Amino acid sequence: MSLKLNKYLKILRQEASRFERTDINNKVDETFRAKYSVKILFSIVSVVLVFLLKDGFSESFVSYVSSVLSILVGLFITALIFSFDKFYEPSNEENPNSRIKLWETQAHNYAKKFAYITSYTIVLSIFTLVLLAVSALFEKATQLNVFSLSFCLDCVKKDFNALKLFGIAFFVIVQRFLVLYWLLKIMYNTLFIVSSMVQYMTTKIDRK
């Protein structure tokens, strides 16, 4: 079960990343800028914010973001369920011309694009909620100022408490980075989904 889940999540991440660079004619942008520019930018911003947020996330921030993400998950799941009937409507004509075939192909491509990116955004939101739940459960530990600590390799090797503190500090840094990076990604995907949906629906209306 867990192996299949990992497989499905990996496929979902790969396909969502690919469809972000794919237009409705199924042409994929394989340039370095298209593949990595957003990831590099979000990574840099996340690292900077980790250094600025020395005491971690406040209780109000965790509460606010958790509420927003919960609402987004509900909205995206609803949109995902009702999207296929709206975006992909096969032609009922027996002998469709080339224009209708092109429209059907574009509708099919956009339906897949919307499904993968929206589903991946839902998964990211759930993972972010899990990490924020850790902040709520272990508030004192996750608000540790890791930059006030000094690293001593010999102490970590000899003292279990030092090793434990190092493990907590490492987890806190990774947790803060992932929460910030995923939040940026969720906001980007949300804007991407909304703007591309409006553009597609406008084009669809103009055809009629």
User: Cβ distance 192 to 20 under 8 Å?
Assistant: yes
By mean pLDDT, which of 28-32, 42-46, 121-125, 202-206 is the weakest?
A: 202-206
The answer on pLDDT for 85 being more than 70 is: no
Residue 91 confidence class, pLDDT cut points 50, 70, 90: low
pTM of this structure:
0.86
The answer on pLDDT for 202 being more than 60 is: yes
pLDDT in tens, 152-183: 666 656 666 667 777 888 888 999 999 999 99
More confident residue, 125 or 99: 125
pLDDT reported for residue 155? 63
CA-wise closest residue to 178 among 117, 128, 115: 128
User: Cβ distance 193 to 118 under 8 Å?
Assistant: yes
pLDDT in tens, 107-143: 778 888 888 999 999 999 999 999 999 888 888 878 8
Locate the domains of the chain by residue range: 2-207
The answer on pLDDT for 88 being more than 60 is: no
User: Cβ distance 38 to 51 under 8 Å?
Assistant: no
Residue 93 confidence class, pLDDT cut points 50, 70, 90: low
